[in-house]
Amino acid sequence: MGKFLARRLLNYVVLIFLATSFAYLLAATNLQPRVYFEQMQPPPPPEVVNSQLDTLNLNDQTPLAQRYATWISGVVTGDFGKNIQGGEVSGQMWMKAGVTLRLITVATILGSALGIAIGAYAAVRQYRAFDKAATGASFFVLSIPTVVIAIVIQVLAVAVNDGLGFTFLKYVGEYSAGFQGNWWETLVNRIHHAILPTLVLALALFAAFARYQRNMMLDVLGSDFVRTAMAKGLTRRRALFKHALRTALIPTITYFTFTFGALVSGATFTEKIYGWHGMGAWLIDSIARQDVHVVAAVSWFMAVTIMAASFLSDIIYAWLDPRVRV
């Protein structure tokens, strides 16, 4: 098992290297940092532009291979180069990652827990009122794009605030601008801001998880081992909880890790709409700014999160399901 995991890990490292390199090459050939400088007001002289580009390792007159070599040798030491304004990419990246992780950790846990609970119960009550309501709700949410959900909730929040006459729900930013206070007040302020975007993400996740868990649960509901558990003297509820749900959770947990990995870059719309400066928002902005190094760095980070999720799901799967252990 250890040997296997080590081999797999090595595989992932190679994949991450390839993904990041391709992302860099794609960004370096298609984005035009020169244009970014040339469009400044007033337009700087060409020599200044060139020297600026040279210091940032973004000059399209330098051969691509040479630019790539410079960049990759920096990446190996943990230096992702400079963004187009001259700031350090690495430092910024960890800050943005922190924002995104804060947002999605709570949202995925909340959304999936809710989805699993509702999906599993809906399966037990198949075709009854609860199942029909849960199915209707999840399909309703699934059929609306996240953008629309995010905006609708924002609009509703505004209406609620207007109705109450004070800002009950915050819908812009990660914290109030210029907020000063002790750590406790800061925390409350941040949580207050996090409620709505978390809700948006959790809502979309809940719908997917509810459907998924319902199907998984239906597969095991009629299985012989649940009947055996009842024949031993367990009540139906206990047999379902301890034997059916535990078995039906295995594929869902794998799904969960992947969702988490994908959401690092998948929360873009929510971040943008609610003014959170996370990974996804950063990527969109940097493409608009022709910022090659940031695009490459975000791609690297996404590759790492996806691979980590996949690695984690392998381990969790083996831990949960004795049948795949070696």
Partner 1 sequence: MSTETIVDSAAADSERTRPTPVLEVTDLTVTFRGFNNNPDVKAVRGVSYAVHRGEVLGIVGESGSGKSVSSMAAMGLLPDHAEITGSVRLHGEELLGKSDREMARKRGKVISMVFQDPLSGLTPVYTVGDQLAEAVMVHNPKGGKAKARARAVELLELVGIPNPAERYRSFPHEFSGGMRQRVMIAMAMANDPDVIICDEPTTALDVTIQAQILDLLRTAQRETGAAIVMITHDLGVVAGFVDRLLVMYAGRPVEIGSVDEIYYSSRMPYTMGLLGAVPRMDLEDQGALVPIKGNPPSLSALPPGCPFAPRCPLAQPECDDSEPDLLPVGSAVRTEDGRTRVRDDGEQRVACIRSGEIDANRWTAQDIYPVPEIPEAEAASARREDLPEVLRVRDLIKHHPLMKGSVFKRRVGTVYAVDGIDFDIREGETLALVGESGCGKSSTLMEVMGLEKPERGSIEVMGREVGSLSRSERFSLRRDMQIVFQDPMSSLDPRMTVFDIIAEPLRTHRVGAQAVTERVYELLRLVGLNTEHATRFPAEFSGGQRQRIGIARALALEPKLLVLDEPVSALDVSIQAGVVNLLEELQAKLGLAYLFVAHDLSVVRHIADRVAVMYLGKVVEIGATKAIYEHPSHPYTQALLSAIPVPDPERERSRTHIVLEGDLPSPANPPSGCSFRTRCQKFITLQESDQEQCMSAEPRILPTNGDDQASACHFAERQAGLV
Residues in contact with partner 1 by the rule CB under 8 A: 1, 4, 127, 223-225, 227-238, 243, 246-247, 250, 314, 317-318, 320-326
If the CB atoms of residues 245 and 279 are measured against partner 1, the closer one turns out to be 245
Joined tokens for residue 252: 């869902």
Q: Which helix (H) or strand (E) holds 153?
A: helix 146-164
If the CB atoms of residues 200 and 229 are measured against partner 1, the closer one turns out to be 229
Measured CA to CA in angstroms, residue 102 lies from 153, 271, 315 at distances of: 20, 12, 24
Tell me the three state secondary structure of residue 144.
coil
Measured CA to CA in angstroms, residue 6 lies from 2, 10, 113, 282, 313 at distances of: 6, 6, 31, 33, 15
If the CB atoms of residues 15 and 141 are measured against partner 1, the closer one turns out to be 15
Provide φ and ψ at 171, rounded to 5°: -135, 10
Closest separation in Å from C-beta 202 to partner 1: 28
If the CB atoms of residues 73 and 235 are measured against partner 1, the closer one turns out to be 235
Closest separation in Å from C-beta 129 to partner 1: 14
Closest separation in Å from C-beta 241 to partner 1: 12
If the CB atoms of residues 178 and 237 are measured against partner 1, the closer one turns out to be 237
Q: Which helix (H) or strand (E) holds 220?
A: helix 183-221
Rama region for 121: left / alpha / beta (φ>0; ψ in -120 to 50; rest): alpha
Closest separation in Å from C-beta 250 to partner 1: 7
Joined tokens for residue 214: 């319902």
**Cβ 65 vs Cβ 54: under 8 Å:** no
Provide φ and ψ at 293, rounded to 5°: -70, -35
Closest separation in Å from C-beta 114 to partner 1: 24
Closest separation in Å from C-beta 307 to partner 1: 16
Closest separation in Å from C-beta 232 to partner 1: 4
Closest separation in Å from C-beta 317 to partner 1: 6
Give the position of tokens 């990246």.
93
If the CB atoms of residues 57 and 135 are measured against partner 1, the closer one turns out to be 135
Give the position of tokens 């597969």.
219
Tell me the three state secondary structure of residue 88.
strand
Kindly give, in sequence order, each residue whose CB lies less than 8 Å from that of residue 41, ignoring residues fewer than 6 positions away.
none
**Cβ 283 vs Cβ 295: under 8 Å:** yes
If the CB atoms of residues 94 and 237 are measured against partner 1, the closer one turns out to be 237
Tell me the three state secondary structure of residue 42.
coil
If the CB atoms of residues 170 and 243 are measured against partner 1, the closer one turns out to be 243
